[in-house]
């Protein structure tokens, strides 16, 4: 009996050992409960960021936390007084809720709180023709807003809510922005409240010709921070949390109307000036120099005797404008304004647009091989002015006219003499007309076109093609400055390099 008990005990021990071995072996015959499974590694690959990486990461976090409460969501009921297609910004940012286009429609965008007592900066195209505006704050309060004023030429506007102690944003200095600098876009894209994206400043002083008004000011900051419909009026901020721009437009493929890589923001220095005027007066009292201007390229710089292509060239002077009373002349190159270099027409536009009528600015000019300075008192635009002011010249094509001609083959251009009827038609006293321009030739590359009239070359009047030919012969290997007039009376100066 005792022997049997020993055998039984030994058998039990043996079975226990075998069963334990099976559990340890991992044959999968007996599975532990899910609660006992350990998932993931026991520690992160990088247990602690180095100090620089941690500080960089925290900068984004802190800016998002501090600035987001200053950005609001705007809903607008607006009247359809004009077709939506007439508003170039409509499809970019003003989000419609519904597919129809009734007499009244609802849209939306973003805004930046700029004062503790309720003034909010946004885009003109967000609140244009508004009959009702409501604002949703970060703390989810919904308040009615009043439109204080708008400025279509800069696409900016100001609204106001009745509230106190609001978290006003800090408005920085957009003149200090550098290409490559990190920025964050904060707004309400696609009706997704309080969205933050990041990128860099891709370019500054960018003109995208979205606003076709001849007096429009386009001097955008370009960024690759993701911006989508609904971001309009939101903030572009640097890593100090300072607002450096007001998001306004996007590059789009024209079908989805969504972000495809780049967005554009209005510099905050311009926005501050416009906002102050709108709050004080309900409108902008903007000053103008009274000139039509164009970028200086290499050929024009050579023709002017300018060492390098820089500045913007005065193409024409508005009669009775500020420039006409300050010894500014056609062909002057504006190198600086108040000591600030200006190499693009929109850079000059933006700076002047931030100044009120009556302000005195100092222009540094290049004229006849010398630098000179002129003080100009900015004047308000006369509504009866028909010529562009502070805009790049845009000339339209005239008609082809047939007659005897000289072919300047090396320039890719043919010209001929004009008859009295044509001189009267173009309202010029003298000139020769361009009858052919070859694609991609020197004349073509300088935007000369069939139907343009050359009235002077090398600052000398041109009456016949022979006179023009003589001037070109003397300027071989150099460049000559031409004055050209189109069929609508617009004139521009253009440099043309003459081959040997």
Kindly report, residue by residue over 432-446, the tens digit of the pLDDT.
999 999 998 899 999
Mean pLDDT on 50-61: 90
pLDDT tens for each residue of 361-376: 999 999 999 999 999 9
Question: Is residue 21 over pLDDT 70?
Answer: no
Residues 241-244: contacts with CB within 8 Å, 24+ apart?
241/62, 241/63, 241/66, 241/67, 241/170, 242/170, 242/171, 242/172, 242/173, 243/67, 243/112, 243/169, 243/170, 243/171, 243/172, 243/268, 244/172, 244/173, 244/174, 244/177, 244/183, 244/268
Question: Is residue 195 over pLDDT 80?
Answer: yes
Per-residue pLDDT at 214 = 74
Give the pTM. Answer: 0.73
pLDDT confidence tier of residue 217, bands split at 50, 70 and 90: confident
pLDDT tens for each residue of 333-352: 999 999 999 999 988 988 99
pLDDT tens for each residue of 278-324: 999 998 988 899 998 999 999 999 999 998 999 999 998 988 889 99
Instruction: Name the token pair of 325.
Output: 């009373």
Question: Is residue 83 over pLDDT 60?
Answer: no
- Equal fold, 69-161 vs 177-274: yes
User: Are 264 and 240 within 8 A, CB to CB?
Assistant: no
Which residue stretches of 203-354 are H helix? 268-281, 298-304, 345-353
Q: Which residue has the tokens 């300027």?
A: 475
SS3 122: strand
Per-residue pLDDT at 385 = 45
Distance CA 415, CA 403 (A): 9
Catalytic residue among 151, 155, 238, 277: 155
User: Are 271 and 293 within 8 A, CB to CB?
Assistant: no
Instruction: Name the token pair of 169.
Output: 């944003």
Mean pLDDT on 468-478: 92
Known catalytic residue at 138: no
Kindly report the number of other CB atoms within 10 A of residue 446's CB atom: 21
Question: Is residue 74 over pLDDT 90?
Answer: yes
CATH code of 406-497, in short, is: 2.30.42.10
Known catalytic residue at 232: yes
377 by Cβ neighbours in 10 Å (0-12 / 13-18 / 19+) ranks as middle
Q: Between 235 and 86, where is the model more confident? A: 235
Catalytic residue among 174, 232, 456, 491: 232
Per-residue pLDDT at 285 = 85
Known catalytic residue at 125: yes
Mean pLDDT on 134-157: 95
Per-residue pLDDT at 64 = 95
Question: Is residue 196 over pLDDT 50?
Answer: yes
SS3 296: coil
pLDDT tens for each residue of 387-415: 445 655 544 444 444 447 899 999 999 99
Q: Which residue has the tokens 């302000």?
A: 359
pLDDT confidence tier of residue 97, bands split at 50, 70 and 90: very low
- Averaged confidence pLDDT in the chain: 84
* Fold designation for 69-161: Thrombin, subunit H (2.40.10)
Instruction: Name the token pair of 243.
Output: 């607002």
Secondary-structure class of domain 177-274 per CATH: mainly beta
CATH code of 287-392, in short, is: 2.30.42.10
Mean pLDDT on 98-111: 71
The proportion of the chain whose per-residue pLDDT surpasses 70, expressed as a percent, equals: 82
Residue of 354, 334, 331 lying closest to 343 (CA atoms): 334
CA distances in angstroms from 317 to 105, 285, 470, listed in the order given: 43, 21, 29
Q: Which residue has the tokens 């003149």?
A: 175
Q: Which residue has the tokens 């309900």?
A: 282
Per-residue pLDDT at 113 = 97
Beta strands 291-295 and 391-392 are parallel
Question: Is residue 43 over pLDDT 70?
Answer: yes
Per-residue pLDDT at 458 = 92
| Stretch among 45-54, 257-266, 294-303, 458-467 having the lowest mean pLDDT | 257-266
Mean pLDDT on 21-32: 53
Instruction: List the chain domain ranges.
Output: 69-161, 177-274, 287-392, 406-497
Catalytic residue among 78, 90, 110, 125: 125
């Amino acid at each position: 009996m005792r022997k049997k008990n020993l055998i039984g005990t030994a058998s039990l021990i043996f079975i226990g050992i075998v069963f334990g071995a099976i559990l340890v072996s991992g044959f999968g015959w007996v599975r532990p409960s899910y609660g006992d499974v350990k998932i993931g590694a026991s520690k992160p690959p990088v247990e602690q960021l180095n100090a620089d990486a941690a500080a960089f990461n925290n900068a984004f976090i802190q800016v998002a936390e501090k600035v987001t409460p200053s950005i609001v969501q705007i809903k607008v009921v607006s009247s359809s007084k004009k077709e939506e297609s007439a508003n170039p910004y409509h499809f970019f940012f003003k989000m419609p809720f519904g597919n129809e286009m009734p007499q009244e429609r609802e849209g939306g965008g973003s805004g930046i709180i700029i004062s503790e007592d309720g003034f909010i900066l946004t885009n003109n195209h967000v609140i244009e023709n508004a009959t009702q505006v409501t604002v949703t704050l970060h703390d989810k309060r919904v308040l009615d807003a009043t439109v204080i004023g708008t400025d279509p030429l800069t696409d900016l506007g100001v609204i106001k809510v009745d509230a106190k102690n609001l978290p006003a944003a800090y408005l920085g200095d957009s003149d200090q922005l550098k290409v490559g600098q990190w920025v964050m876009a904060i707004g309400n894209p696609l009706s997704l409240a309080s969205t933050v994206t990041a990128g860099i400043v891709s370019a500054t002083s960018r003109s995208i010709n979205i606003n076709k008004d001849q007096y429009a000011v386009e001097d955008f900051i370009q960024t690759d921070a993701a911006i989508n419909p609904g971001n309009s009026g939101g903030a572009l901020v640097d890593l100090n949390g300072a607002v450096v721009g007001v998001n306004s437009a996007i590059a789009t493929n024209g079908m989805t109307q969504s972000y495809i890589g780049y967005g554009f923001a209005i510099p905050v220095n311009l926005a501050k000036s416009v906002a102050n005027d709108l709050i004080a007066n309900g409108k902008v009292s903007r000053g103008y120099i009274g000139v039509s201007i164009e970028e200086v390229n290499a050929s024009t710089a050579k023709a002017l005797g300018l060492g390098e292509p820089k500045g913007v060239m005065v193409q024409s002077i508005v009669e009775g404008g500020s420039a006409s009373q300050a010894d500014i002349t056609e062909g002057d190159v504006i190198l600086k304004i108040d000591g600030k270099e200006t190499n693009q027409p929109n850079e000059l536009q933006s700076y002047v647009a931030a100044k009120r009528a009556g302000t005195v600015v100092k222009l540094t000019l290049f004229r006849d091989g010398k630098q000179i300075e002129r003080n100009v008192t900015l004047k308000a635009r006369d509504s009866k002015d028909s010529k562009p002011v502070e805009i790049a010249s845009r000339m339209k094509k005239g008609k082809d006219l047939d007659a005897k001609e000289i072919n300047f083959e090396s320039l890719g251009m043919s010209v001929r003499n004009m008859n009295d009827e044509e001189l009267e038609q173009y309202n010029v006293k003298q000139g020769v007309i361009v009858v052919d321009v070859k694609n991609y030739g020197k004349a073509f590359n300088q935007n000369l076109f069939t139907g343009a009239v050359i009235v002077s070359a090398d600052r000398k009047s041109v009456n016949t093609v022979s006179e023009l030919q003589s001037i070109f012969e003397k300027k071989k290997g150099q460049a000559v400055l031409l004055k050209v007039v189109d069929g609508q009376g617009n004139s521009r100066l253009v440099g043309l390099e003459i081959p040997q």
